Amino acid sequence: MRGAALLAGMLCCLGAVAADYVPLPGAVFNSVLPADGQSAPASIAPFAMRVEPVTNAEYLAFVQVHPEWRKGSAPTVLADGAYLSHWEGASTLGPKAGPGQPVTQVSWFAARAYCESEQARLPTWYEWEYAAAADAHRADARADPAWRERVLAWYGRPSTVSLASVGGEANVYGVRDLHGLVWEWVDDFNALLVSADSRDQNSADTMKFCGAGALTMQQKENYATLMRVAMLSALKASDTTRNMGFRCVRPR
C-alpha cells in the first residue's frame, strides 16, 4: 500500500515535469473556417502550446490525484463505456497502453479536466489549426501539395496499428505530433460548423447549420484539415475513440 502511494507520487511529479509548453505568436490567420462564415480571417492572440500530446504515463499520474477520472469511475454522462478501455486497470496501463504513447479513449470532458489540472485549457480550433499549419521550416506550409499529401497519407493508415510514442519531428514553433499520430480534441469542437448567427435560437435561417456551414469552408484543396473538422463535428463530448487524444494550451 505504501509502495503504491509512493508510485502515485512519483508518477504525479513525472507528469508535472513533462508538461513542456512553447510560445506561439499571435497572428491573423486564414482558417478553413472563416471567422465571419464568409471569408474573414481569424485573429489569434499569443498563446503557449504543449510540445507533445498528453501521454498515458502523464494521464495515469493525473488519475492518481483525481480518482474521479479513473477507469471505471468516470460518470457515463462525462465519458462513454470505452473510456480508457485499453488500460489494464484503474491504476495500471498494461501491455496495450505504452507510457510514452499518447493517451486515447478519453472524452472531451476528461481532456478538459486534465488541462485544468495544468492551469491550462484545450486549444480552440483556430489555435490548433494555426499551430498545425506549420512544418519544420515554415509557419504556414499549407500551400505545399507535398505537405498536404503527407498529412493526408496518415488518414489512410489502418487504425488498428499500435500508436507510436510521442516525440515526432518538431515544427517551426517546436511543437510535435500535430499530424501523423492521433486526432486531438479542441475546446470548441461542437461549434465548428455553426456560425455565430446560427446560434440564435430564434433565427429561421436553418440553412446556416451543419450542411450550410460545410459549404462556407475555405481551402477545399486542404482536404486533410477539412476531414478533421468533419470528424470533430461528428462527436459528442462524452465520446472516446482509440485514436483521439489531446494537448493543452495556456494564454501568454
Measured CA to CA, the distance from residue 47 to residue 25 in angstroms comes to 7
Measured CA to CA, the distance from residue 39 to residue 31 in angstroms comes to 9
Residue 68: CB partners within 8 Å, gap ≥ 6? 74
Judge contact between 107 and 84, C-beta under 8 A: no
Of the candidates 27, 25, 29, the residue with the CA atom closest to the CA atom of residue 48: 25
Write down the architecture of domain 21-251 according to CATH. Alpha-Beta Complex (3.90)
User: What does each of the 252 residues of the chain score in pLDDT, given as a tens digit?
Assistant: 344 444 444 444 444 455 799 999 999 999 999 998 888 999 999 999 999 999 999 999 999 999 999 999 999 999 999 999 999 999 999 999 999 999 999 999 999 999 999 999 999 999 999 999 999 999 999 999 999 888 888 877 777 778 999 999 999 999 999 999 999 999 999 887 654 444 444 444 444 444 444 445 666 667 778 888 888 989 999 999 999 999 999 998
Of the candidates 202, 200, 192, 194, the residue with the CA atom closest to the CA atom of residue 31: 192
Of the candidates 136, 124, 141, the residue with the CA atom closest to the CA atom of residue 246: 124
- What is the pTM (predicted TM-score) of this model? 0.84
In the prediction, which pLDDT does 211 show? 43
Measured CA to CA, the distance from residue 176 to residue 185 in angstroms comes to 16
Judge contact between 142 and 16, C-beta under 8 A: no
Q: What region, left, alpha or beta, does residue 105 occupy, with left being phi > 0 and alpha being psi -120 to 50 degrees?
A: left
Domain boundaries, the chain: 21-251
Q: Concatenated DSSP letters for 143-190?
A: T-HHHHHHHHHHHTS-TTSPPPPS---B-TTS-B-SSSS-EE--TTGG
Residue whose C-alpha cell is 456560425: 195
Which parts of the chain are beta strand (E)?
21-24, 27-29, 42-44, 47-50, 183-184, 244-245, 249-251
* Sequence letter at residue 150: R
Grid coordinates belonging to 222:
486542404
